[in-house]
Amino acid sequence: MPENQVARIRHNLVALRMPRALEALEGIIQQIERGQLGALEAIDMLLAEEITVREGRRIKAALQMARLATIKTLTGFDFSFQPSLDRNRIMALASLEFIDQHEVVHFIGQSGTGKSHLAIALGVEAIRAGRSVYFCALADIIDSLAKADREGRLRERIRYLCRTQLLIIDEIGYVTLGAAAGNLFFQLVNARYERGAMILTSNRGFAEWGQVFGDPVIATALLDRLLHHAVVVHIEGSSYRMRQHADLLPPVLPASHPGVQPKRRGRPPKGAADTIAVS
Protein backbone atom coordinates (compact mmCIF):
# COMPACT_ATOMS: atom_id res chain seq x y z
CA MET A 1 0.00 0.00 0.00
CA PRO A 2 1.48 3.43 -0.93
CA GLU A 3 2.97 5.35 1.99
CA ASN A 4 1.07 8.56 1.18
CA GLN A 5 -2.22 6.64 1.22
CA VAL A 6 -1.38 5.05 4.58
CA ALA A 7 -0.42 8.46 5.96
CA ARG A 8 -3.76 9.88 4.80
CA ILE A 9 -5.66 7.03 6.48
CA ARG A 10 -3.76 7.63 9.71
CA HIS A 11 -4.52 11.35 9.52
CA ASN A 12 -8.23 10.65 8.97
CA LEU A 13 -8.38 8.20 11.87
CA VAL A 14 -6.86 10.82 14.16
CA ALA A 15 -9.32 13.44 12.88
CA LEU A 16 -12.21 11.05 13.47
CA ARG A 17 -10.91 10.27 16.99
CA MET A 18 -10.55 6.55 16.37
CA PRO A 19 -7.44 5.68 18.45
CA ARG A 20 -8.06 1.93 18.61
CA ALA A 21 -8.46 1.72 14.81
CA LEU A 22 -5.24 3.70 14.46
CA GLU A 23 -3.42 1.21 16.68
CA ALA A 24 -4.77 -1.74 14.68
CA LEU A 25 -4.04 -0.21 11.27
CA GLU A 26 -0.45 -1.44 10.89
CA GLY A 27 -1.35 -5.06 11.63
CA ILE A 28 -4.30 -4.97 9.25
CA ILE A 29 -2.13 -3.51 6.47
CA GLN A 30 0.36 -6.36 6.96
CA GLN A 31 -2.45 -8.92 6.61
CA ILE A 32 -3.61 -7.21 3.40
CA GLU A 33 -0.09 -7.32 1.97
CA ARG A 34 0.20 -11.03 2.80
CA GLY A 35 -3.06 -11.67 1.03
CA GLN A 36 -4.83 -12.72 4.24
CA LEU A 37 -7.46 -9.98 4.08
CA GLY A 38 -9.50 -8.47 1.29
CA ALA A 39 -10.45 -4.79 1.16
CA LEU A 40 -13.93 -5.25 2.66
CA GLU A 41 -12.64 -7.58 5.38
CA ALA A 42 -9.97 -5.04 6.30
CA ILE A 43 -12.50 -2.21 6.56
CA ASP A 44 -14.79 -4.42 8.64
CA MET A 45 -11.97 -5.41 11.01
CA LEU A 46 -10.75 -1.83 11.39
CA LEU A 47 -14.22 -0.55 12.32
CA ALA A 48 -14.90 -3.54 14.59
CA GLU A 49 -11.75 -2.79 16.61
CA GLU A 50 -12.91 0.77 17.25
CA ILE A 51 -16.52 -0.19 17.98
CA THR A 52 -15.42 -2.81 20.53
CA VAL A 53 -13.39 -0.27 22.50
CA ARG A 54 -16.11 2.38 22.33
CA GLU A 55 -18.76 -0.11 23.45
CA GLY A 56 -16.59 -1.08 26.40
CA ARG A 57 -16.25 2.57 27.41
CA ARG A 58 -20.00 3.11 27.02
CA ILE A 59 -20.84 0.14 29.22
CA LYS A 60 -18.33 1.20 31.88
CA ALA A 61 -19.76 4.72 32.01
CA ALA A 62 -23.35 3.42 32.06
CA LEU A 63 -22.54 1.06 34.94
CA GLN A 64 -21.17 3.99 36.91
CA MET A 65 -24.23 6.11 36.12
CA ALA A 66 -26.44 3.23 37.23
CA ARG A 67 -24.65 3.17 40.62
CA LEU A 68 -23.86 -0.53 40.21
CA ALA A 69 -20.81 -0.65 42.45
CA THR A 70 -20.79 -4.47 42.41
CA ILE A 71 -21.26 -6.15 39.04
CA LYS A 72 -23.22 -9.41 39.00
CA THR A 73 -24.11 -11.52 35.96
CA LEU A 74 -26.64 -14.24 35.20
CA THR A 75 -23.84 -16.62 34.23
CA GLY A 76 -22.35 -16.05 37.67
CA PHE A 77 -25.57 -17.00 39.49
CA ASP A 78 -25.50 -20.46 41.11
CA PHE A 79 -28.88 -21.87 40.07
CA SER A 80 -27.87 -25.26 41.51
CA PHE A 81 -27.95 -23.74 45.00
CA GLN A 82 -31.55 -22.57 44.44
CA PRO A 83 -33.06 -25.56 42.57
CA SER A 84 -36.59 -24.25 43.16
CA LEU A 85 -35.84 -21.26 40.95
CA ASP A 86 -37.01 -21.56 37.32
CA ARG A 87 -33.79 -20.87 35.43
CA ASN A 88 -35.50 -20.68 32.02
CA ARG A 89 -37.96 -18.07 33.28
CA ILE A 90 -35.16 -15.95 34.72
CA MET A 91 -33.19 -16.18 31.48
CA ALA A 92 -36.34 -15.14 29.60
CA LEU A 93 -36.39 -11.94 31.65
CA ALA A 94 -32.97 -11.20 30.15
CA SER A 95 -34.72 -10.63 26.81
CA LEU A 96 -35.78 -7.34 28.49
CA GLU A 97 -39.34 -7.44 27.17
CA PHE A 98 -40.50 -6.36 30.61
CA ILE A 99 -38.67 -3.06 30.10
CA ASP A 100 -40.42 -2.42 26.79
CA GLN A 101 -43.77 -3.25 28.41
CA HIS A 102 -43.09 -1.07 31.49
CA GLU A 103 -43.58 -4.00 33.85
CA VAL A 104 -42.43 -4.49 37.43
CA VAL A 105 -40.36 -7.53 38.39
CA HIS A 106 -40.52 -8.55 42.05
CA PHE A 107 -37.91 -10.81 43.65
CA ILE A 108 -39.26 -12.00 47.01
CA GLY A 109 -37.23 -14.15 49.40
CA GLN A 110 -35.19 -14.36 52.56
CA SER A 111 -31.80 -12.67 52.90
CA GLY A 112 -29.03 -14.31 50.90
CA THR A 113 -31.24 -16.16 48.41
CA GLY A 114 -29.98 -14.20 45.40
CA LYS A 115 -32.57 -11.45 44.95
CA SER A 116 -30.08 -8.60 44.61
CA HIS A 117 -27.76 -10.69 42.42
CA LEU A 118 -30.57 -11.37 39.94
CA ALA A 119 -31.74 -7.75 39.99
CA ILE A 120 -28.25 -6.41 39.33
CA ALA A 121 -27.60 -9.04 36.66
CA LEU A 122 -30.72 -8.00 34.77
CA GLY A 123 -29.61 -4.39 35.14
CA VAL A 124 -26.24 -5.28 33.59
CA GLU A 125 -28.04 -7.03 30.70
CA ALA A 126 -30.13 -3.90 30.17
CA ILE A 127 -27.05 -1.67 30.09
CA ARG A 128 -25.36 -3.93 27.57
CA ALA A 129 -28.48 -3.61 25.41
CA GLY A 130 -28.26 0.18 25.55
CA ARG A 131 -30.99 0.82 28.15
CA SER A 132 -30.61 3.36 30.94
CA VAL A 133 -30.57 1.88 34.45
CA TYR A 134 -30.51 3.27 38.00
CA PHE A 135 -29.95 1.10 41.09
CA CYS A 136 -30.56 2.15 44.69
CA ALA A 137 -31.58 0.70 48.03
CA LEU A 138 -35.05 1.76 49.19
CA ALA A 139 -33.65 3.56 52.25
CA ASP A 140 -31.39 5.67 50.03
CA ILE A 141 -34.25 6.43 47.62
CA ILE A 142 -36.40 7.60 50.53
CA ASP A 143 -33.55 9.74 51.92
CA SER A 144 -33.06 11.44 48.55
CA LEU A 145 -36.80 12.07 48.16
CA ALA A 146 -37.12 13.43 51.69
CA LYS A 147 -34.14 15.75 51.17
CA ALA A 148 -35.58 16.98 47.88
CA ASP A 149 -38.96 17.53 49.56
CA ARG A 150 -37.39 19.66 52.29
CA GLU A 151 -35.58 21.72 49.66
CA GLY A 152 -38.66 22.14 47.48
CA ARG A 153 -37.22 19.95 44.70
CA LEU A 154 -39.38 16.83 45.08
CA ARG A 155 -41.00 17.03 41.64
CA GLU A 156 -37.59 17.60 40.05
CA ARG A 157 -36.12 14.57 41.87
CA ILE A 158 -39.03 12.34 40.85
CA ARG A 159 -38.68 13.49 37.24
CA TYR A 160 -34.99 12.55 37.40
CA LEU A 161 -35.81 9.06 38.72
CA CYS A 162 -38.43 8.66 35.99
CA ARG A 163 -36.00 9.36 33.16
CA THR A 164 -34.25 6.01 33.48
CA GLN A 165 -35.79 3.11 31.55
CA LEU A 166 -35.19 0.63 34.38
CA LEU A 167 -35.26 1.59 38.06
CA ILE A 168 -33.99 -1.10 40.46
CA ILE A 169 -34.93 -0.66 44.11
CA ASP A 170 -33.26 -3.05 46.51
CA GLU A 171 -33.93 -4.14 50.10
CA ILE A 172 -37.62 -3.34 50.55
CA GLY A 173 -38.64 -4.49 54.01
CA TYR A 174 -35.25 -4.47 55.72
CA VAL A 175 -36.06 -1.14 57.37
CA THR A 176 -39.51 -0.17 58.66
CA LEU A 177 -40.57 3.23 57.31
CA GLY A 178 -43.09 5.76 58.50
CA ALA A 179 -46.20 6.85 56.64
CA ALA A 180 -44.45 10.02 55.40
CA ALA A 181 -41.74 7.93 53.74
CA GLY A 182 -44.38 5.63 52.32
CA ASN A 183 -46.16 8.61 50.81
CA LEU A 184 -42.93 9.79 49.14
CA PHE A 185 -42.34 6.34 47.68
CA PHE A 186 -45.93 6.23 46.44
CA GLN A 187 -45.42 9.48 44.53
CA LEU A 188 -42.40 7.96 42.77
CA VAL A 189 -44.20 4.71 41.97
CA ASN A 190 -47.26 6.60 40.74
CA ALA A 191 -45.11 8.77 38.47
CA ARG A 192 -43.46 5.69 36.90
CA TYR A 193 -46.67 3.64 36.68
CA GLU A 194 -47.09 2.35 33.10
CA ARG A 195 -44.27 4.69 32.03
CA GLY A 196 -41.12 2.89 33.19
CA ALA A 197 -40.01 -0.59 34.23
CA MET A 198 -38.86 -1.45 37.73
CA ILE A 199 -37.20 -4.32 39.58
CA LEU A 200 -37.92 -4.56 43.31
CA THR A 201 -36.34 -6.92 45.83
CA SER A 202 -37.89 -7.63 49.21
CA ASN A 203 -37.59 -10.05 52.11
CA ARG A 204 -41.22 -9.38 53.11
CA GLY A 205 -44.41 -10.75 51.61
CA PHE A 206 -46.90 -8.27 50.16
CA ALA A 207 -49.24 -8.82 53.12
CA GLU A 208 -46.56 -7.25 55.34
CA TRP A 209 -46.10 -4.08 53.30
CA GLY A 210 -48.54 -2.22 55.53
CA GLN A 211 -46.04 -2.68 58.36
CA VAL A 212 -43.08 -1.80 56.15
CA PHE A 213 -44.55 1.50 54.95
CA GLY A 214 -46.30 2.42 58.18
CA ASP A 215 -49.78 2.64 56.63
CA PRO A 216 -51.90 -0.15 55.12
CA VAL A 217 -53.71 2.39 52.92
CA ILE A 218 -50.46 3.55 51.33
CA ALA A 219 -49.29 -0.07 51.00
CA THR A 220 -52.51 -0.99 49.20
CA ALA A 221 -52.15 1.95 46.82
CA LEU A 222 -48.54 0.97 46.12
CA LEU A 223 -49.38 -2.66 45.43
CA ASP A 224 -52.32 -1.65 43.24
CA ARG A 225 -49.81 -0.11 40.84
CA LEU A 226 -46.84 -2.38 41.41
CA LEU A 227 -48.80 -5.59 40.78
CA HIS A 228 -50.92 -4.43 37.84
CA HIS A 229 -48.28 -5.29 35.22
CA ALA A 230 -45.91 -7.51 37.16
CA VAL A 231 -43.79 -10.64 37.29
CA VAL A 232 -43.44 -11.99 40.83
CA VAL A 233 -40.61 -14.41 41.56
CA HIS A 234 -40.68 -16.14 44.94
CA ILE A 235 -37.29 -17.58 45.90
CA GLU A 236 -37.53 -20.23 48.59
CA GLY A 237 -34.25 -21.53 49.93
CA SER A 238 -31.29 -20.99 52.21
CA SER A 239 -28.84 -18.13 52.26
CA TYR A 240 -25.99 -18.59 49.79
CA ARG A 241 -23.71 -16.46 51.95
CA MET A 242 -24.40 -18.67 54.99
CA ARG A 243 -24.18 -22.02 53.16
CA GLN A 244 -21.12 -23.06 55.17
CA HIS A 245 -22.91 -22.34 58.45
CA ALA A 246 -26.35 -23.74 57.66
CA ASP A 247 -26.52 -25.57 61.00
CA LEU A 248 -26.49 -22.20 62.81
CA LEU A 249 -29.53 -20.83 60.97
CA PRO A 250 -33.17 -21.20 62.09
CA PRO A 251 -35.25 -23.44 59.84
CA VAL A 252 -36.98 -21.86 56.84
CA LEU A 253 -40.73 -21.69 57.44
CA PRO A 254 -42.78 -23.88 55.10
CA ALA A 255 -45.45 -22.34 52.92
CA SER A 256 -48.15 -23.81 55.18
CA HIS A 257 -46.91 -21.91 58.24
CA PRO A 258 -49.45 -19.32 59.53
CA GLY A 259 -46.90 -16.51 59.19
CA VAL A 260 -46.17 -17.20 55.54
CA GLN A 261 -48.40 -15.81 52.83
CA PRO A 262 -49.69 -18.70 50.68
CA LYS A 263 -48.85 -18.67 46.99
CA ARG A 264 -51.71 -18.17 44.57
CA ARG A 265 -52.41 -21.15 42.34
CA GLY A 266 -53.64 -21.06 38.80
CA ARG A 267 -53.23 -18.49 36.07
CA PRO A 268 -54.06 -14.91 37.06
CA PRO A 269 -56.66 -12.98 35.04
CA LYS A 270 -55.43 -11.06 32.00
CA GLY A 271 -53.72 -7.82 33.03
CA ALA A 272 -52.94 -9.05 36.52
CA ALA A 273 -49.51 -10.00 37.88
CA ASP A 274 -47.65 -12.86 36.22
CA THR A 275 -46.73 -14.84 39.32
CA ILE A 276 -43.96 -17.41 39.27
CA ALA A 277 -44.65 -19.80 42.14
CA VAL A 278 -41.40 -21.58 42.99
CA SER A 279 -41.72 -24.43 45.40
pLDDT given at position 271: 47
Tell me, what DSSP letter sits at residue 17? T
Written as tens digits, the pLDDT of the chain (279 aa) is: 678 888 999 999 999 999 999 999 999 999 999 999 998 999 999 999 999 888 888 888 888 888 886 889 999 998 888 888 999 999 999 999 999 999 999 999 998 889 999 999 999 999 999 999 999 999 999 999 999 999 999 999 999 999 999 999 999 998 889 999 999 999 999 999 999 999 999 999 999 999 999 999 999 999 999 999 999 999 986 666 545 444 555 555 544 444 444 444 444 444 444 444 332
pLDDT given at position 180: 95
pLDDT given at position 1: 63
What domains sit in the chain, N to C, each tagged with a CATH number?
3-65 (no CATH), 79-276 (3.40.50.300)
Q: Is residue 167 helix, strand or coil?
A: strand
